[in-house]
Amino acid sequence: MLNYPFSGRRPASLALFPKAFALSITLVLAGCQGTSETVIEDDSASSSSFNWAIPARFPLPVEPTGNTMSEAKFQLGRHLFYDERLSGNGTQACASCHEQSKGFSDGLTTSVGSTGQVLARNAQGLMNVAYHATQTWANPSLSTLEQQALVPLFGEDPIEHGINDLNRDEVLQRIRDEAAYEPLFTAAFPEQGDPIVFTNIRDAITSFVRGLVSFDTPFDRFELGDPDALSEAAHRGRQLFFSEALECFHCHGGYNLSDSTLDRTMTFVERPFHNTGLFNIGGTGAYPDDNQGIFHITEDPADMGKFRSPSLRNVEVTAPYMHDGSMTSLDEVIDFYAAGGRNITSGPNAGDGRFNPFKSGFVNGFTISDAEKQDLITFLHSLTDHTFLNNSRFSNPWIPE
């Protein structure tokens, strides 16, 4: 690079000349500006009768035509979500496995149903679940919350809420007997004479869960243009997260930190599932019989062990991790991915997951130092939305504030 002569500093006249030239050009031509514009016609993708309360930069979730969002449905659903009477034996609410302080997960390895049956899978957090292209860990056919909500309410294997043909009338009567519900149901379904029915209960609960949206993490604020929103360590961790070396972003990228994301601005829907090499029983690629991923639905051998990438929002508070809750800390998760899979050396599930024949091509292992790991964890902590975790709008309405 050439240096200015003698002093090494720009001569004052030379420094001022370009600025003076720029100013003169600007003044002379100020009247010639103003024809550029960008017109957006988004087919009402950005309009809704429901107040989503999310920054304009983020797209709105899909609203099913058969269950459009309303504040009344949201509030009714909120009451039902926290109501243990909405179960066979009156002991289980949705909130039993989805606690707000834990990002609407439950902190258990796997959840426990109303009858004490231990489920095979870890309870996922419910933040921004409205943007999931599929619901649950491994069912490509469950694409809406309305389809998914019936599973915990009425499922028989495993039993969660335990509502069945023998007790459904009794459960419904409990709801009818609660005086607080009549005005809530009437407001949510004004066109119906007798709105306290299970389809409306389902629609209200799903409206509440769909409304659990927020984009107020330090990561979000950084992406929206605040360069100081992330600490230096989190910024370094972000660069690692989005690097080709670690490739985290391939499955956990996008504004919702998951590649299984759908919103109303999308035309092409991707519903991916991935085998990350957690198991490789006997070297056959197999996963435990009660948890084989979408293979259970598709029966395609290549789908063995494939699960949906969960959103990493609030991952700091949604431990333990993986579909079976087998990893208790983010340290353990990072070590697992750095190894390229998990090697189980003994027991009924023995096998080296690193060589699972159905493993995703993105899980190849990587080298990471302890300092880099801490930076990555710091970044993952920046995905915690404390506003969401403490928002009274999402909290238990049956407990006085």
Partner 1 sequence: MKHLSKTTLCLVFLVQTSDLFAHGELEPILGWQVDADFTASYFDQSLHDEAWLIPGTLMGGEVYGSEQGAQLDEASVGLRYGTLNNFFASLEVGSHAHGSEYDLELEQASLGQYLEWQDYEISVEAGRMKALFSPTNTQHLNATNFERQSLLYSAFVGGHYVNNGLRALIKRETSDHSSWLVGAELWDGDAFPATSSGGVNAYDLFAYYDTSGEYQGVHGKAQGWHLNIGLWHLGTQSENRKDDRFSSGHSHGGASSTLEDIRFSGDHHITGLRAALSWDFSSHITLDSTSEVIWNEGDGEVRDQTRLADLDFEHLGASQEFGIGSGQHRIGFRYEWLGLKNTLSGPGAAILAQDANLIEKDDPYRASLAYNYLHQTGLRFKVGVTTDDTDGEADSSVWISVGWTGTFRP
Site residues (CB under 8 A) for partner 1?
1-2, 10, 14, 17-19, 21-22, 25-26, 29, 32-43, 45-46, 57, 59, 219-220, 223, 239, 242-244, 249, 253-255, 257, 264-270
Look up residue 347 and give its two tokens: 């027991």
Q: How far is the CB of 38 from partner 1 (least distance, A)?
A: 5
C-beta of 92 vs 382, nearer to partner 1: 382
Q: How far is the CB of 40 from partner 1 (least distance, A)?
A: 5
Place of tokens 């950005």: 46
C-beta of 118 vs 266, nearer to partner 1: 266
C-beta of 49 vs 345, nearer to partner 1: 49
C-beta of 29 vs 166, nearer to partner 1: 29
Q: Would you say 231 and 378 are in contact if contact means Cβ atoms under 8 Å apart?
A: yes
Strand partners, 286: 281
DSSP code, position 166: T
Q: Would you say 122 and 325 are in contact if contact means Cβ atoms under 8 Å apart?
A: yes
Q: What is the 3-state secondary structure (H, E, C) of 271-328?
A: CCCECCCCCCECCCCECCCCCCECHHHHCCHHHCCEECCCCCCCHHHCCCECCCCCEC
Angle of helix 232-241 relative to helix 370-381, nearest 10 degrees, comes to 100
Place of tokens 């979000």: 220
C-beta of 155 vs 254, nearer to partner 1: 254
Angle of helix 168-177 relative to helix 198-210, nearest 10 degrees, comes to 70
Give the containing element (helix H, strand E) for 91.
none
Q: How far is the CB of 28 from partner 1 (least distance, A)?
A: 9
Q: How far is the CB of 57 from partner 1 (least distance, A)?
A: 8
Q: How far is the CB of 314 from partner 1 (least distance, A)?
A: 15
Do the bridges between strand 351-352 and strand 343-344 make them parallel or antiparallel, or are there none, so unpaired?
antiparallel
Q: How far is the CB of 258 from partner 1 (least distance, A)?
A: 11
C-beta of 25 vs 371, nearer to partner 1: 25
